[in-house]
A and B are shown apart, each in its own frame.
Chain A
């Protein structure tokens, strides 16, 4: 764990430093060739009414950084993440893959349980603890999902949602390295959930550092394998804006429900 913490600390410092560099270094303004901007056939002045209200209400003051990170994620996906997913799927037989997936999903229910309680949602807390109980025992540490066929509903609640329920605004939109679209609030939420789960894991198990790393990497690959989104394959030159708008909307709905 000491190594992990040290690694984390140096990682965070490096991240903060590169974030600063990126924030200061990425302009989102286009390049002009020549002295005056030529008028297009349909200019924004002519087409977009002045009192126009946007459907996209997300705040994105760090767009330069975010766009750069979005591209980084695309490349990470292309050269690291997706090849790893393919290899994982090729090596592991289907049932093992499913078993591991169930295991990680079940383990993450700890976060849902915690956040259901923090949000004062008794039904979700009850459902989630029943799921955890059933799947951790007769589902052999979560490898098998017996709770779903038994009809116990599945919920997902994270600390970002809890903060939202408590009235904390989302803050600026933030594209996180590897993890993707988020916001300041949701980013903090991810960190808190991750920290709590790690504490629970340390309490329940006695894993070596390399085992913890294996866990983290397998969980990351499993998560990626179960998300069908591919960067820059929506067929839209406005993909960045669409993803931002849909992410913001979906999080609002998640908090309301």
Chain B
């Protein structure tokens, strides 16, 4: 009997230990179970990691392609904007790459910047290759979303920025990380670094990356269908949204519009999942409209804008604004991205390029690349069914999968902030 109990205890202890090591879920108290809520609301203030209000972030811009003539309409994006914060003494340096449509100093990049700076790292923050300013000033083809080309663009930008900073700062080791599409970019930048060896990244961390880019953009495009009556009824959806916001805004006469306002709105209205999905879909739709239209202005491909029409500084896009917001990432892929790259490489089929734009395409490399780690969420909304298993299968214990958090909703939750830092801590 005693032996049985002892055996049982040992078993229990063992399984507990396994549980604890395999999933940090054991005591993971991120407040939202619902992935839609997590994605939209993020982490409410009282649950957030203790990060500094301000870090000495410097914003700069740099001309990447000396002889590129920026179209008049986009004159303000002639130089690529980025930001950095340096420690006083020698320290490791982390490059941060933003997600789809994200700017170098957007909300999530700021979370990472503060977390790593506080932990003693230099940081250099970059916009996503899909961000307007990057498309105009940092992308060689100006047709973003091609993981190999984007990696080359990012690497070029990293080198150029590093050239301007290297005399002022002492760096012990280089690291790279990114969230969402920036996570996918991180993997391909790390792969490119194996060949170029300028930075010799000591480690890389992929945060909530897609597995197959086409699967993820298809999922995101479909989300906007949650607008009742489809995108044709966006005006009604907007008005409903505004009246919902105003209900709270008017009631709380002393409140100003801020990030916590969003949480307040959520708290008062308790929106349904379909409404939150419509909101997420809308947010990504805005990103895709911005990216596609900017790219079209750069290349004169004739996707939305007639190819032989030139925009001046003062041109009004008029109805093309509505057209751009009616087209999704998949429209961009099929009617612009694929034909554009197909011209340069006629043997390339649609399914070839879909397969290329994925982590599965470099699975063999990832399996053995000990320097690359992953932080993900089991209920991430940008992954197709079963795709989450790719990470534990390929990365083994270099992948940590949190039980909740949706898409990047838990990035400033204390466990996640500590995790990010611990991956790079020297």
Q: Is the CB of A42 within 8 A of B331?
A: yes
Q: Is B310 a contact partner of A31 (Cβ separation < 8 A)?
A: yes
CA distance A154 to B254 in the complex (A): 6
Collect the chain B residues with CB atoms within 8 Å of residue A37's CB: 306, 308-309
Are B304's CB and A238's CB within 8 A?
no
- Which residue, A47, A71, A232, A237, has most C-beta atoms of chain B within 10 A? A237
Does any Cβ of A come within 8 Å of B264's Cβ?
no
A149 on the interface (CB 8 Å rule)? no
CA distance A71 to B74 in the complex (A): 11
Main SS at interface, chain B: helix
Q: Which residue of A lies closest to B130 (CB)?
A: A235
From A42, A241, A249, B321 is in contact (CB under 8 Å) with A241
A40 sits at the interface (CB 8 A): yes
How many contacts between A and B, using CB within 8 angstroms?
Answer: 139
A212 nearest CB across to chain B (Å): 29
A170: interface (CB < 8 Å): no
B320, CB-defined interface residue at 8 Å: yes
Q: Is B101 located at the chain interface by the 8 A CB criterion?
A: yes
The residues in B between 308 and 343 inclusive whose CB is less than 8 angstroms from any CB of A are 308-324, 326-327, 331, 335-336
Q: Which one of B11-19, B230-238, B416-424 is at the interface?
A: B230-238
Q: How far is the CA of A241 from the CA of B322 in the complex (A)?
A: 11
Of the residues A31, A44, A63, A256, contact of B312 by C-beta under 8 Å: A31
A172 to B132, CA, bound (A): 29
CB of A1 closer than 8 Å to a CB of B:
no
**Contacting B303 at CB < 8 Å: which of A41, A249, A256?**
A41
- A residues in contact with B238, CB < 8 Å: 55
Question: B356 an interface residue at 8 Å Cβ cutoff?
Answer: no
Q: Do B336 and A44 have beta carbons less than 8 Å apart?
A: no
- B327 x A30 contact (CB < 8 A): no
Q: Is B77 an interface residue (CB 8 A)?
A: yes
Stretch at the interface among A2-10, A21-29, A134-142, A176-184: A21-29
Does A55 contact B234, Cβ atoms closer than 8 Å? yes
Q: How far is the CA of A24 from the CA of B322 in the complex (A)?
A: 27
Whether B242 sits at the interface, judged by CB under 8 Å, is yes
What total of chain A residues lie within 8 Å of the partner, measured CB to CB?
48
A26 to B73, CA, bound (A): 14
**B313 near A71: Cβ-Cβ < 8 Å:** yes
Grouping DSSP codes into helix (H, G, I), strand (E, B) and loop, the A interface class, with mixed when no group exceeds half, is: loop
Indicate if A201 sits at the interface (CB-CB under 8 A). no
CB contacts (< 8 Å) of A47 on chain B: these are 322-323, 326-327
Total contacting residues, chain B, CB less than 8 A = 59
Q: Are A44 and B232 in contact (CB under 8 A)?
A: no
Q: How far is the CA of A74 from the CA of B75 in the complex (A)?
A: 11
Residue of A26, A44, A53, A155 near B320 (CB, 8 A) is: A44
**Minimum distance in angstroms from A92 CB to a CB of chain B:** 16
Give the residue name and chain of the B residue nearest to A34 (CB). Answer: B308
| A48–B323 touching, CB < 8 Å | yes
A21 CA / B300 CA spacing, docked (Å): 32
B76 close to A (CB within 8 Å): yes
Question: Does B315 lie within 8 Å of A238, measured CB to CB?
Answer: no
Q: When chains A and B are docked, how far (Å) is the Cα of A37 from the Cα of B74? A: 21
Note all chain B residues with C-beta closer than 8 A to A124: 253
Q: How far is the CA of A155 from the CA of B255 in the complex (A)?
A: 9
Flag if A238 contacts B290 (CB, 8 Å): yes
Q: Which residues of A contact B107 (CB under 8 A)?
A: none
B302 touches A38 (CB 8 A): yes
Q: Across chains A and B, which 6 residue pairs bring their CB atoms closest together, nearest first? A: A257-B250, A55-B238, A28-B316, A232-B76, A55-B235, A44-B319
Since A41-B304, A236-B290 are in contact, a sample of 19 more A-B pairs with Cβ atoms closer than 8 Å, ordered by chain A residue number, is: A27-B312, A30-B312, A30-B315, A32-B310, A37-B306, A38-B309, A40-B304, A47-B322, A48-B323, A53-B235, A55-B239, A63-B316, A235-B131, A235-B290, A238-B289, A249-B242, A250-B257, A253-B249, A257-B246
- A-binding residues in B (CB < 8 A): 73-74, 76-77, 81, 101, 103, 127, 131-133, 232, 234-235, 238-239, 242, 245-246, 249-250, 253-254, 257, 286, 289-290, 293-294, 296-297, 302-324, 326-327, 331, 335-336
Task: List 7 contacting pairs A-B, 8 Å CB cutoff, sorted by A.
Answer: A31-B309, A40-B306, A43-B306, A71-B313, A74-B76, A153-B253, A257-B246
